[in-house]
Amino acid sequence: MNIRMWGISLFMFLSTVSAVGQTANCYLKAPLPDEWEESGQVFQQTLPVDDYWWKSFRDTKLDSLITLAVDRNFSVAMAINRISAARANLWMERSNFFPSVGLNAGWTREETSGNISAAPQSTEHYYGASLSMSWEVDVFGSIRKRVKAQKENFAASKEEYTGVMISMAAEVASAYINLREFQQQLEVVKKNVASQEEVLKITEVRYNTGLVAKLDVAQAKSVLYSTRASIPQLEAGINQYITTLAVLLGMYPQEIRPVLETVGILPDYMEPIGVGMPVDLLLRRPDVRSAERNVNAQAALLGASKADWLPKVFLKGSFGYAARDLKDLVKSKSMTYEIAPALSWTIFSGGQLVNATRLAKVQLDETINQFNQTVLTAVQETDNAMNAYRNSIKQIVALREVRNQGVETLKLSLELYKQGLSPFQNVLDAQRSLLSYENQLVQAEGSSLLQLITLYKALGGGWRE
């Protein structure tokens, strides 16, 4: 299959569009991107993981949180409700295939005036019971096309549900990664605080023995207090993501806080990612499939609006009994019936049918444009996510080396300071640099995981009912 051609031919709705007078000129003609290849070991040209991509992080707590969100998340519940509503609309439209049958029964008494005609005043009464039936014979397919539109809407609602599930899993995973990132940054700060307290003790000893000026002690304290001052902001960030996870799980924060406050590590994940082919992307993403269904539905409605120009055929009838006395009601002589085939054809409606068809055409064009925009957005999101994830891996590799050198620099500068061979400023610079390097590394690791989550979301993978 030529991956440089748009995947229009892959979608069944083209036949529907052409059937109502549309052409492929409405669709994007530009080629899809080349295969998303990376010369290194970051990406592979295989289909992305179909199910439960988050399990590759090997974090059982994250697995449990997503499982809980599936059962309790209100966005998922609303998506399920939309499926139920679409199913009800489908069955309502299908009911037009069948005749409507009614039962009528009652007793009638009437008295006529003797002063409006030559006939004398009279009183009549009788009992009656009958079944009536009305049936529109779908000769020109108006009902069939509207049923098809509702079928496509129902299918689109299921695709939207899948999209909600993918987004929900990505949101839970992202909030969880952000929480762990803040916790790890807090651990880095606490570790550096402990290190800086040791350095402060060294400067105090050297000051008390007259080896250095009090300036060294003051500088050591300023670095220590500055590091401690970052702790409240990190604790606020931790609380923020705990509450975010609580909302995603449909819970109050106090219900889940004890579980999440325990410090956890960031998943260590730098394995190759299967990105598949560009055409596979179009076939996988729920928003693209939903947009396809919407085009199908609107094309069917356009066909139905054209069918409304043609005559409608109805078959009506009734069968029952009527008699003066109740005891004679079901006798054969009391039987009544009526058969009334009818044809209804609107010759003039003040432009209503014309404008209804115009509206349907405009709405079809709009859904086609929405489909094209969805495809472009899918390609954009995937390209951006792949580029961001690729560069985040490179950044982590570089920052790990920088962190290692920062540890070595602090160790050497402190040893030289103890021996009186180096000024205390070198130790201060090494402390500040090491704290910065370690924070940057934690942030880069968290950002890389977030980019990976975004990539899985962009690839349309990660959920299957």
- Summarize the confidence of residues 94-104 as an average pLDDT: 85
Q: Which long-range contacts (CB under 8 A, 24 or more apart) does 216-219 make?
A: 216/424, 219/424, 219/425, 219/428
Exposed/middle/buried for residue 232 (C-beta within 10 Å: 0-12, 13-18, 19+): exposed
- Summarize the confidence of residues 283-297 as an average pLDDT: 88
For 258, the domain range is 7-97+141-308+354-458
108 bridge partner residues: 126
- Where is 102: in which H helix or E strand? strand 100-112
**Residue 129 included in any domain:** no
**Residue 314 included in any domain:** no
User: How many angstroms separate the CA atoms of 364 and 14, rounded?
Assistant: 12
**Residue 319 included in any domain:** no
Closest CA to 322 of 126, 169, 164, 182: 126
User: How many angstroms separate the CA atoms of 424 and 231, rounded?
Assistant: 25
User: How many angstroms separate the CA atoms of 73 and 78, rounded?
Assistant: 9
User: How many angstroms separate the CA atoms of 392 and 398, rounded?
Assistant: 10
pTM of the model: 0.77
**Across all residues in the chain, what is the average pLDDT?**
82
Contact 426, 410 (CB under 8 A): no
**Residue 430 included in any domain:** yes
Work out whether strand 100-112 and strand 312-323 pair parallel, antiparallel, or are unpaired: unpaired
Exposed/middle/buried for residue 13 (C-beta within 10 Å: 0-12, 13-18, 19+): buried
- Summarize the confidence of residues 62-72 as an average pLDDT: 89
Work out whether strand 273-274 and strand 312-323 pair parallel, antiparallel, or are unpaired: unpaired
**Residue 200 included in any domain:** yes
Contact 302, 356 (CB under 8 A): no
Could you tell me the two tokens for 415? 């040893």
Q: Tell me the pLDDT band of 361, cut-offs 50, 70 and 90.
A: very high
**Residue 347 included in any domain:** no
- Where is 158: in which H helix or E strand? helix 142-208
Conformational region of residue 213, where left means phi above 0, alpha means psi within -120 to 50, and beta covers everything else:
beta
**Residue 81 included in any domain:** yes
pLDDT at res. 55: 83
Exposed/middle/buried for residue 124 (C-beta within 10 Å: 0-12, 13-18, 19+): exposed
- CATH code of the domain containing 161: 1.20.1600.10
Angle ∠(99,101,106) on CA atoms, nearest 5: 165
**Residue 123 included in any domain:** no
* DSSP-assigned states of every residue in 23-38: -GGGS--SPPPPP---
Could you tell me the two tokens for 367? 């859904």
pLDDT at res. 463: 43
Q: 203-215: per-residue pLDDT in tens? A: 898 888 888 788 9
Helices (H), 50-141: 60-72, 74-94
Axis-axis angle for helices 142-208, 352-418 (nearest 10): 20
Q: 52-61: per-residue pLDDT in tens? A: 788 888 888 9
Closest CA to 455 of 400, 394, 378, 399: 378
Could you tell me the two tokens for 143? 């009902």
Q: How many domains does the chain have?
A: 1
Q: Tell me the pLDDT band of 15, cut-offs 50, 70 and 90.
A: very low
pLDDT at res. 464: 43
Could you tell me the two tokens for 2? 């030529």
pLDDT at residue 238 above 90?
Answer: yes
- Summarize the confidence of residues 127-150 as an average pLDDT: 86
pLDDT at res. 460: 79
Could you tell me the two tokens for 389? 């994830």
**Could you tell me which residue, 166 or 460, shows the higher pLDDT?**
166
